[in-house]
C-alpha cells in the first residue's frame, strides 16, 4: 500500500529508487513555497532587469537607464550618504556590540547580566517607524530628556540637531538603538559556547581579562562577527524608512532623497521614470547578491552537507 509514496525517502526504503516519479512527495511539500519564491523572489528580479533595460516606449534601451541614474545629481550624494552611514553603523556594531557582550559576559553577578541583556534588547520591539517616532522626540531639544546634553553641544533646535551633516550619526544612533540588543544576545550565546576550561587555562597561564578577550574570545567570535556585519550591511544598504520619516518631520529639510532606496522610490513615483527606478534597484540587488554569495561561499556558514 505504502510503496508509491516512499520514493522520496533518502534513508533508503527498499522499493524507493525506481518509482515513476522520484521525489514526488518532496515536490509536493515544497511546491507552495517554490511558487512564492518564484512569484516574490524570482519574478520581481526578472521584472526589474527587464525594466532596467527598456525605455518608456518599450524598446531595448541598452544602458541608458543606468547612465540616467548615474548622471542624476542626487545619485552620487545618496550613494555617499549610504556608504558613510554603513561605515558608522558597522563600526559601531562591531566595536560596541562585541565590547558590551564581553563586559556582560564577564559580569560576576549573572542575574544582573541577564537582566541587562534583556533591557538592552527591548528597543528591538520598536523596529521600523516606531523607532523614528521615538527618536524624533529624543532629538528635539525642547522635549528630550537628554535636551541638556544636546544644548551642551550647542544644538538648541530640532532643525540644528538633524542638520544634514549630522544624519549619518543620527541614523546610526537609531539603528544601533533598535538593533544592537539582539546582536548582543547572539554574541553572548556564542561566548557561552567557548569552553570555560580554555579560559581557565589562559588565566592560570597569567593572562589578564583584556588578553583573554583579545587572544581567545574575539578570535573565536570571528564567525559571528562576520555574520553580523554581512546581515547588517544588507539591511543598512536598504535604508528607507528612517530618512523618509525624518524628511516628513522636517518638511523636506533633512532626509529627502537621502538614501538609494528613496531615490529609487522617487524615480518611480515622482519622476515617472520606471526604467531608472528599476536600474537603481538592479544595481542595489547586484551589490547585495555579490555580498550574499561571497558570504555563503567564503564563510562556510551555510554548508549544508
- The residues in 39-78 that bind other proteins, with binding defined as CB under 8 A, are 39-45, 47-48, 51
Could you say which of 83, 223, 271, 272 contacts other proteins (CB under 8 A)?
Answer: 223
Residues 256 and 179: their CA atoms lie apart, in Å, by 24
Asked if 216 is part of the footprint of other proteins (rule: CB under 8 A), the reply reads no
C-alpha angle with apex 119: 96 to 101, nearest 5 degrees?
Answer: 30
Residues 244 and 270: their CA atoms lie apart, in Å, by 14
Residues 184 and 121: their CA atoms lie apart, in Å, by 8
Residues 39 and 33: their CA atoms lie apart, in Å, by 10
Asked if 182 is part of the footprint of other proteins (rule: CB under 8 A), the reply reads yes
Q: For other proteins, which stretch binds (CB under 8 A), given 18-26, 67-75, 81-89, 163-171?
A: 18-26
Asked if 193 is part of the footprint of other proteins (rule: CB under 8 A), the reply reads yes
Residue count, binding to other proteins (CB under 8 A)? 127
Q: Mask 121-150, x = binds other proteins (CB under 8 A)?
A: xxxxxxxxxx--xxxxxx-x-xxxxxx---
Whichever of 1 and 165 has its CB closer to other proteins, that residue is: 1
Measured CA distances, 145 to 106, 141, 149, 233, 269 (Å): 31, 8, 9, 31, 38
Residue 175 CB neighbours (<10 A): 22
Whichever of 2 and 165 has its CB closer to other proteins, that residue is: 2
CB of 272 to other proteins, least distance (A): 13
Measured CA distances, 274 to 35, 66, 192, 244 (Å): 26, 12, 50, 20
CB of 67 to other proteins, least distance (A): 19
CB of 154 to other proteins, least distance (A): 20
Amino acid at each position: 500500500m505504502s510503496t508509491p509514496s516512499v520514493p522520496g525517502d533518502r534513508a533508503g526504503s527498499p522499493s524507493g529508487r525506481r518509482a515513476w516519479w522520484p521525489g514526488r512527495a518532496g515536490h509536493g511539500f515544497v511546491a507552495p513555497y517554490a511558487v512564492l519564491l518564484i512569484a516574490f523572489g524570482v519574478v520581481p528580479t526578472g521584472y526589474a532587469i527587464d525594466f532596467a533595460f527598456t525605455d518608456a516606449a518599450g524598446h531595448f534601451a541598452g544602458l541608458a537607464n543606468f547612465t540616467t541614474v548615474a548622471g542624476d545629481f542626487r545619485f552620487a550624494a545618496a550613494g555617499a550618504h549610504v556608504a558613510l552611514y554603513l561605515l558608522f553603523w558597522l563600526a559601531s556594531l562591531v566595536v560596541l556590540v562585541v565590547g558590551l557582550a564581553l563586559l556582560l559576559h564577564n559580569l560576576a553577578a549573572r542575574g544582573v547580566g541577564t537582566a541587562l541583556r534583556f533591557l538592552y534588547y527591548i528597543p528591538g520591539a520598536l523596529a521600523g517607524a516606531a523607532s523614528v517616532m521615538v527618536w524624533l522626540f529624543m532629538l528635539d531639544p525642547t522635549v528630550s530628556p537628554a535636551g541638556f546634553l544636546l544644548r551642551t553641544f550647542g544644538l538648541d533646535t530640532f532643525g540644528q540637531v538633524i542638520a544634514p551633516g549630522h544624519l549619518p550619526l543620527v541614523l546610526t544612533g537609531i539603528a544601533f538603538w533598535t538593533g544592537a540588543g539582539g546582536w548582543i544576545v547572539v554574541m553572548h550565546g556564542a561566548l557561552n559556547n567557548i569552553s570555560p576550561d580554555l579560559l581557565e587555562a589562559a588565566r592560570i597561564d597569567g593572562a589578564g581579562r583584556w588578553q583573554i578577550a583579545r587572544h581567545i574570545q574575539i578570535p573565536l567570535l570571528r564567525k559571528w562577527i562576520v555574520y553580523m556585519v554581512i546581515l547588517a550591511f544588507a539591511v543598512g544598504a536598504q535604508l528607507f524608512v528612517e530618512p523618509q520619516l525624518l524628511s516628513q518631520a522636517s518638511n523636506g529639510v533633512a532626509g529627502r532623497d537621502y538614501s538609494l532606496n528613496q531615490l529609487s522610490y522617487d524615480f518611480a513615483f515622482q519622476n515617472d521614470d520606471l526604467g531608472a527606478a528599476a536600474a537603481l534597484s538592479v544595481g542595489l540587488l547586484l551589490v547585495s547578491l555579490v555580498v550574499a554569495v561571497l558570504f555563503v561561499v567564503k564563510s562556510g556558514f551555510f554548508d549544508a552537507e
